[in-house]
Structure 1
Amino acid sequence: MQEKCYLPTVAMRGLTVLPGMVLHFDINRPRSMEAVNKAMVNDQRLFLVSQREAEEEKPEMDGLYRIGTIGRVKQMLKLPNQTIRVLVEGLQRARLEGLQKEEPYLIGDVQPLEDGEEPDAVSQGAMVRVIREQLEAYLMETPQAPKELRRFVMDVEEPGALLNGVAGLLPMTNTARQRYLEEDTLTGRFQMIGQKLSNELEIGKVKKNFQEMVKNRIDENQKEYILREQMKLIREELGEENSSTDADNYMQELEKLRADKSTKEKIAKEIARFRALPYGSQESSLARTYIETLLEMPWNKSAKETMDLKRAAQVLDEDHYGLEKVKDRVLEYLAVRALNGKGESPILCLVGPPGTGKTSIARSVARALKRQYVRICLGGVRDEAEIRGHRKTYVGAMPGRIAAGIRQAGVRNPLMLLDEIDKVSSDYKGDVSSALLEVLDSEQNSKFRDHYLELPLDLSDVLFIATANTTQTIPGPLLDRLEMIEVSSYTENEKYHIADQYLVEKQRKKNGLTVKQFTISPDALKKLIRNYTREAGVRSLERRIGELCRKAAREILEGKKEKVHITCRNLEHYLGKEMITFEDANEADAVGIVRGLAWTSVGGDTLQIEVNVMPGKGDISLTGQMGDVMKESAQTAISYIRSISAGYQIPEDYFERHDIHIHIPEGAVPKDGPSAGITMATAILSAVTGTSVRADVAMTGEITLRGRVLPIGGLKEKLLAAKMAHLKRVIVPEENRRDVEELSREITDGLEILYVKQMDQVWQAAAGGKET
């Protein structure tokens, strides 16, 4: 018996290496990689042993089989992702006596094993002949067997090598191959391989029988189909069967269909093709679905729409409070239709924050015009075929969403809502926004082609209304075809009227309550809007009213109350503590603290900017989780202040001897946008000069290096935020004067709005004209 040796050890997952085998495998576990590297440094020998549980990441002695194979690394190749590919030749069976070391790699105490007593030469020859005969029979039954098995039949004479080669190539489980490796005698291994080959031969015969049975059954089905067709023909000849077929029914429907001549000819051609197809075939089923889709399309069928402007205006006012721009545009469209009989259908796009009623406006417009309403949600759509349809050749082909919407409406002139048009995207399947260009272009959509229909579909009479939260993500060519109507945030007064006139009654009915059972006072409704919701629209407000209705319904059913009246006193009892508080204006003027105005997706907000100046080396610190745009505004503001420092008696070396720290509280909230430039410049100048800034002033606007004030957006929301914070004076850019003039008196009442062009005007208005 050979002496023990200590070899680097690799634990194999789901793989057993036999003596004489040459195979390659990938290694990515650090311990195994270190073991291979160690073997390459020494004599290239290592011990390969299978682990009992393949999922175990770091097996120890108990997790490994005792019998493995000593192998030699013939080639090692480094792959990406920390992986190496190793080519190994199995040399000799060996027993793992123990592990001398586990980190950084396994070192096994390995005892090489010799085979037990071998049979005589005659018995070995018989073994080789039996295995070869079994292999030849197996290869005849299994054409897909590995080609290497044929080489073993012809070339290998030594019984041990023949058995090992066959064991490595036969489809065996890892457990079975491990049992073969642990067998000591040549006779035992011969019996195992012989039994395996016999089993594989039986499996091959059973599989062949099954295949023949399936083939015979298919032949029987074809024979039955032919006989049925012959029987059907005989019955038709005898007049025993009604000659009305599906094709005849389709032709009758085609005669009633309101469509142009070319469309009818195309459908008739498809029906004739369908008539010639074998009944029950897959192609027949596809043709049937296609013809039924064409017959259900409203090619020339239109719904009569109203021309009564007074009724339309009444319906719009019943469903929505305010939104005058949207209502005026719809009534203008109706007026044009009434005068010339057919006006060009506009493609309106309602843009505004979530919850402002964009989708419900479209439904109200459909009701006002007496048009069918179809809603198509485009959020997250990435496949161009969702718009243009699939080719008929594809499995599961269907019309696109536009054609399917027309089919659903049953008329060619519905109102079609394209919801969330700003959230379409593109991938390797095509660009959805490009597909929408043909749909929404009034010059092209009269001949829109759906890939499935393969016929021009007239969309010129469809009234398209799109909705979006922002125009920034809508591609330019698509944006050019849309008529934008802004649906801005609601004021508190607007929210109150919407809740009072619509939402309370809607939730009351939804929760099974009557006016006698549930009421809410005006003051409680205003408090609910101000202190329990914070949004641009009214969606959260409606949820809160629904929550009150549910709690009232429970109290009534439990017999605690017969009627629930919500007031300011008991509102906290039903909804808990106030969730929203507004930071009021500072009580006293302060140095280095200025209130800015910001736009958010849920409305406007005030933004307090604080600046401290400390002795230092001229460093600038920006904190409060500012975005890149705000950081650039801060740098611009500092550069501007430094350029005008002489006019404020600031020493030349002041900025070299002092550090400036700009901070925006609520550091966990990300803040970015081009409207805080003058606010930061004012705060910096106040801190540097020691001049206090008025506590009741707020401002918004961007600054240039030369002190010019640039216009900003979201002014309505910002002014509402200033009003809620009880700020008296608001400084806005001169170029935003026209935006303020378009706002209602309800928003601007109580605010002193100052328009500025230069930074020095901002400073005079904010510092109250105080001299430094």
Structure 2
Amino acid sequence: MHNSKNSYFNTLLLNEDNEDTLDNVMPLLSFDEEDSADDEALNGLDHLPILPLKNAVLFPGVVLPVTVTRSRAIKLIKQVYKESRYLGVIAQQNPQLEDEPNAKDLYQVGTIGYILKMLVLPDGNITVILQGKNRFEVAKFYDEGKFIEADIEALSEQFPAKSNKQNKALMRSLKESALKILKLNPEIPQEAQIAIENIENLNFLTHFLASNVNAETSEKQDILETDDGTERATKLLGLMMRDIQLLEIKQDIQNKVNSDIDQQQRDYFLRQQIRVLQEELGDGVSADEELASLREKARKKKWPREVALHFEKELDKVQRMSPMSAEYPVAINYVELLVELPWNQYTEDNFDLDRAKKILDKDHYGLEKVKERIIEYLAVLKLKNDLRGPILCLYGPPGVGKTSLGRSIATALGRKYTRLSLGGLHDEAEIRGHRKTYIGAMPGKLIQNIKRAQSSNPVFILDEIDKVSSDMRGDPASALLEVLDPEQNNSFMDNYLDLPYDLSKVLFIATANSLDTIHPALRDRMEIIEVTGYTLEEKIEIAKKHLIPKQRKEHGLHPKDVKIDNKAIRKVIEGYTRESGVRNLERQMGALLRKAAKSIVMGEKYEKTIREKDVPVLLGAEIFDKEIYETETVAGIVTGLAWTPVGGEILVIESNLSRGKGRLITSGYLGEVMKESATTALSFLKSIAEELSIDYRVFEHFDLHIHVPAGAVPKDGPSAGITILVSLASVFTQRKIKERLAMTGEITLRGRVLPVGGIKEKILAARRAGITEIILCSKNKRDIEEINADYLKELTIHYVDYAHEVLEIALLPEKVQKTINLSIIEPNAALSKTE
């Protein structure tokens, strides 16, 4: 039981929202002590039930609100309220006592109280409005019934006459002190000033101010027990003067502090207040509870002894800090990271190879080489019973399923999956983390992802590893050297963590579109697995089994709502997408399904089966022309094969001669490598001009122009050497080139043919264009052997080592119908070699 607010003049604020209660309380502010003496109901009261007060003292003539929560006291109030409404009110000697007090826990002097009002609260507690009457002293306590009772003896009041000078001086001093307190404490309403000024009775003024003075319960009880009114008022004045001094000091401190507080300090102070309020309301967690929770989590961790000792040391350091210090959040974040990292936590690998193969086949159509390598990895892992994994790098064009393949591997293994995109990463701290001494420090992305995965052996995808950049802030590619080295990453050091962490059990899978931009040392640490593009047939199957069902689901459609037949899919692949992967194909499938979704919602008629003839109507005109070989009757036009980031393409190279001074002109947005190939091919051709029956004087009197169509598209790479050579040989000899023939390979100044890359993509491009014969370097035979035999149907491949072999295969004996007149070098003298 306690009064609702132990601050100055709370009786003036009592239940401001309850008008009925105010009607009973406010008139008592003019209560006169003489009225109490004339109260006939008090005569003969010598035995009363006792209501203990926990942290308040009831004075005669004062109204006090009391909230009753103890069961004995609730029974007492209910019984007394039905009867006389009179009871004895005595304060506890120990305000901290929460249990039901006994008689020995109470003071001997109290006040007779009269219940003005009883309010039953929703939670079952009771609030009563007590009016103090006379003081009494306990003669004997009775503590054997339902509640405490006592025999009492009334105490007389000894106050001087109103005309007494000392009485007047005391009243003036008490009022002045009270008004000064009002001024120093702005929380108290100004109406209290009017009420105090209107009190003319020293007895009531003393009791009223004593009831509200900011003092301990024992000090208020001392005032109540003092019989002499003058002495009682003097003691009260001393307490009020002490409180005035404290308020003045508090105000001075606040004024000084307010002048120094900036916005940051103000925000911090407000946050601390919110934190305290949250703890009081039970919404927040105290610092001690937070640290205890971390220590409990640490007991359950199976981490290395070195880490456990380091954690205890850091936690002890945090306990010595004040939660209000700026370093506390930094320190608590660090120990939380230590606890949350999955030290020695591993998921159990699933070595069911048949199940793994089914998962890989279900998620990815084709990619037989990659899937076979994964199955091999699982087999080795099962045999050696070791969690340490290799570093794989899936290399290929966009949209072929490199990243999603990593998720399938995680599913097949039963491991957790996490992914880190390295595209555009240029800060070394993103990999190694920041040092704890820096403001805003945090661990590197590797440690953060391991924490999120809650496993020390997840499948970790390092996406776009070829797009890592470097600048003044460091070289992230070099930072990855330690991560991706199986011999070093068992003790990876993160700058923020500052403890070795074992990454050797992680299955790292990197993805890249190009190997040229990967750091050489980094590339050396990885096993490169090429993920090539898909054939037309494979794309049709992928669209049927994966893309269309996925897009149908995303558009809220059912299989019965719309279907796309194989010829329509083929039309979309050939006319609207030009890629090795299937990303753009998926978008086009979504576009077709959106047309059906719109028709369904708007109630329009539509064809439930989309056929080949419907595709241009739904998607518009074809975006790409189909790459088809075209027979040329002009010399110098040769078909080559090229690799691009989005797959293979055929590349037409044109050469032409015109009167001039032997200049070499190249056009078509060629890169430096292709320009060097053109120069090399021309030099080699000059060296064998006699073998091809070319008059050497032609090179001095005719300009040579080499052009590659689609001039707005940059072209470069070391695979067009033999193609340019054949084009030059054809234009200088005016001989025809074999039909439906394409070639790829580089040439040296001595005429050797060098191998090139991207063979599978180039083979696919040749098939799409209707090519039937291909010339390759003999060393590229190993690449052909790894290609599915289905891709090589209807293709004849010629393997060569020297440029002479290329010319023998590519150039036909007969010449084109319209030849360039090369006999104008010397008038009337035909060049017999070139007629």
- Provide the TM-score with structure 1 as the length reference: 0.68
Change (3 A) 1:210 1:523: farther
Q: 1:617 to 1:588 in 2, by over 3 A?
A: closer
Which secondary structure state, in structure 2, belongs to the residue aligned with residue 288 of structure 1?
helix
Structure 2 residue aligned with 1:633: 677
Cα distance 1:262–1:672, how it changes in 2: closer, same or farther (>3 A)?
Answer: same
Matches within 5 A, 1:106-255: 213-215=258-260, 245-255=289-299
Helix, strand or coil for the counterpart of 2:723? helix
Could you tell me which residue of structure 1 aligns to residue 472 of structure 2? 428
Aligned with 1:597: secondary structure?
A: strand
2:436 match: secondary structure: coil
Matched residue, 1:445: 489
From 675, 699, 703, the equivalent of 1:655 is 699
What's the offset of the Cα at 1:311? 0.9
**Residue aligning to 2:631:** 587
1:163 is aligned to none
For residues 563 and 587 of structure 1, do their structure 2 counterparts lie closer, same or farther at Cα, with a shift above 3 Å needed? Answer: closer
| In 1: Cα distance, 2:521 partner to 2:331 partner | 37
**Could you report, residue by residue, the CA deviation over 1:355-410 in whole angstroms, capped at 9, with x for unpaired residues?**
11000000110111111100111111111111111111111111111110110011
Larger radius of gyration: 2
C-alpha deviation, 1:217, in angstroms = 9.3
Partner of 2:382: 338
Contact residue 247 and residue 272 of structure 1 kept, 8 A = no
Where does residue 175 of structure 2 map in the other structure?
Answer: none
C-alpha spacing 1:417/1:661, structure 2 compared with 1 (3 Å): same
1:402–1:650 distance in 2 versus 1, CA, 3 Å: same
1:298 equivalent to 2:348? Answer no
C-alpha displacement at 1:250, in angstroms?
Answer: 2.1
- Quick check: 1:494 aligned with 2:545? no
CA distance in 1, matches of 2:779, 2:294: 66
Equivalent in the alignment of 1:726: 770
SS of the residue corresponding to residue 473 of structure 1 reads coil
Alignment counterpart, residue 401 of structure 1, candidates 417, 424, 445: 445
Structure 2 partner of 1:269 = 313
Q: Say whether the 8 Å CA contact 2:426–2:476 is kept in structure 1.
A: yes
1:242 Cα deviation from its structure 2 partner = 10
Match of 1:360 among 393, 399, 404: 404
1:707-732 superposed Cα distances (whole Å, 9 cap, x missing partner): 22111111111122222221222111
Shift of residue 216, structure 1, vs aligned partner:
7.5
1:130 aligns with none
Q: Deviations over 1:414-457 (max 9, x none)?
A: 11111111111222222111111111111111111111111111
Which of residues 489, 498, 508 is equivalent to 2:552?
508
The whole-number CA distance in structure 1 between the counterparts of 2:286 and 2:685 is 96
Question: In 2, Cα distance between the equivalents of 1:243 and 1:720?
Answer: 66
SS of the equivalent of 2:394 reads: strand
Shift of 1:247: 2.6
> Any conservation in 1 of the 2:428–2:476 contact (CA below 8 Å)?
yes
Structure 2: distance between partners of 1:298 and 1:763: 64
CA distance in 2, matches of 1:211, 1:678: 88
CA contact (8 A) 1:516 1:563 kept: no
Question: Does structure 2 conserve the Cα–Cα contact (< 8 Å) formed by 1:590 and 1:695?
Answer: no
Whether contact under 8 Å (2:659, 2:701) holds in the other structure is yes
Query: What is the letter of the counterpart of residue 606 of structure 1?
Result: I
**By how many angstroms is 1:498 displaced?**
0.9
Distance 1:433 1:587, change over 3 A: closer
- Residue 215 of structure 1 aligns to which amino acid in structure 2? D
The DSSP-based 3-state class of the residue aligned with 2:691 is helix
Cα deviation for residue 561 of structure 1 reads: 2.8
1:628 alignment partner AA: E
Deviation at 1:648, TM superposition (A): 2.5
Pairing 1:538–2:579 present:
no
Map Cα deviations across residues 160-211 of structure 1 (whole Å, 9 max, x no partner). Answer: xxxxxxxxxxxxxxxxxxxxxxxxxxxxxxxxxxxxxxxxxxxxxxxxx999
Distance 2:413 2:752 in 1: 49
Q: Give distance in 2, aligned partners of 1:249 and 1:396.
A: 24
Identity, in percent, stands at 47
Q: Does residue 410 of the first structure (1) align with residue 410 of the second (2)?
A: no
Aligned mates of 2:262, 2:773 — CA distance in 1:
90
Q: Tell me which of 471, 489, 504 is aligned to 1:460.
A: 504
Distance 2:526 2:327 in 1: 42
Distance 1:652 1:423, change over 3 A: closer
Q: Go from structure 1 to structure 2 and tell me whether the alpha carbon gap of 1:456 and 1:321 turns closer, same or farther (over 3 Å shift).
A: same
Q: Matched residues in 2 for 1:217 and 1:690: separation?
A: 88
Q: Which residue of 1 aligns with 2:361?
A: 317
Q: Which amino acid aligns with 1:525?
A: I
Matched residue of 2:460: which SS? Answer: strand
**Whole-angstrom CA distance in 2 between matches of 1:586 and 1:217:** 79
Q: What is the Cα deviation at residue 344 of structure 1?
A: 2.9
Give 1:382's aligned residue. 426
- How far did residue 589 of structure 1 move? 4.4
Q: Which amino acid aligns with 1:495?
A: K
2:389 is paired with a residue whose SS is coil
Secondary structure in 1 aligned to 2:423?
coil
* Distance in 2 between residues matched to 1:536 and 1:445, nearest whole Å: 35
Which of these residues, 368, 372, 377, is aligned with residue 328 of structure 1? Answer: 372
The AA in structure 2 aligned to 1:763 is L
Cα deviation, residue 279, structure 1: 2.3
Secondary structure (helix, strand or coil) at the match of 2:742 reads strand
Give the number of aligned pairs.
552
Could you tell me which amino acid in structure 2 is paired with residue 366 of structure 1? A
Q: How far off is 1:564 after superposition?
A: 2.4
Distance 1:301 1:422 in 2: 31
Distance 1:334 1:217, change over 3 A: closer
Q: Does structure 1 retain, via aligned residues, the 8 Å contact 2:735–2:812?
A: no
CA offset digits 1:336-356 (Å, max 9, x no partner): 222232153111110001111
Q: Could you say if the C-alpha distance between residues 735 and 462 of structure 1 is closer, same or farther in structure 2, counting changes exceeding 3 Å?
A: same
Match of 2:752 in 1: 708
Whether the aligned pair in 1 keeps the contact of 2:735 and 2:813 (CA below 8 Å) is no
Structure 2 counterpart of 1:342, which letter?
Answer: D
- Tell me the CA shift for residue 214 of structure 1: 2.2
Alpha carbons 2:721, 2:746 under 8 Å: kept: yes
Q: State which of 792, 805, 820 in structure 2 corresponds to 1:748.
A: 792
Give the letter for the 1:370 counterpart.
G
Distance, in Å, in 2 between the alignment partners of 1:242 and 1:680 is: 78
The whole-number CA distance in structure 1 between the counterparts of 2:375 and 2:539 is 24
Which residue matches 1:31?
Answer: none
CA contact (8 A) 1:446 1:459 kept: yes
Given residue 716 of structure 2, which amino acid in structure 1 is its aligned partner?
D
Q: Using the alignment, how far apart are the partners of 1:563 and 1:556 within structure 2?
A: 11
Instruction: Report the AA paired with residue 259 of structure 2.
Output: V
- Rounded to whole Å, the distance in 2 between the matches of 1:724 and 1:317 is 26
Matched to 1:560, the amino acid is E
Secondary structure of 2:604's match?
A: coil
Q: Matches of residues 53-68 of structure 1 in structure 2 within 5 Å? A: none
Deviations 1:106-133 (A, max 9, x none): xxxxxxxxxxxxxxxxxxxxxxxxxxxx
Tell me the secondary structure at the aligned position of residue 609 of structure 1.
strand
CA distance in 2, matches of 1:730, 1:756: 11
Superposed displacement of residue 263, structure 1? 0.9
Alignment partner of 1:304: what SS?
coil
Q: Secondary structure at the match of 1:515?
A: coil
1:276 and 1:212 map into 2 onto residues whose CA distance is 26
Query: TM (normalized to structure 2)?
Result: 0.63
- Compared CA separation, residues 733 and 696, structure 1 to 2 (3 A): same
1:621 to 661, 665, 683: 665
